[in-house]
Amino acid sequence: MNLKITQLRSVIGSTKRKKRTIEAIGLRRINHFVIQKDTPNMRGMIKKVRELVEVEKEKVV
């Protein structure tokens, strides 16, 4: 299963840790999205920045 992660809010004013987490996920700007595998590590990163991103399940074709 894959996850579609979209950045909805800016990282301006966020802590350095949240900025680095957004960067580690692969997001660069608002409305940018990436497809990542659904792993415990990725779920943990998403949980840390949940107020900045939106997550949707993506079916593998």
- pTM for the complete prediction? 0.90
> In what order do the strands lie in the sheet containing 33-37?
33-37, 2-7, 53-58
* Domain residue limits, the chain: 2-58
Best CATH choice for the domain 2-58 from the list 3.40.50.300, 3.40.50.720, 3.40.50.460, 3.30.1390.20: 3.30.1390.20
Angular region, 17: left φ>0, alpha ψ -120 to 50, beta rest: alpha
Given this model, what pLDDT does residue 61 score?
67
pLDDT tens for the 61 residues of the chain, in order: 899 999 999 999 999 999 999 999 999 999 999 999 999 999 999 999 999 999 999 876 6
Given this model, what pLDDT does residue 59 score?
76
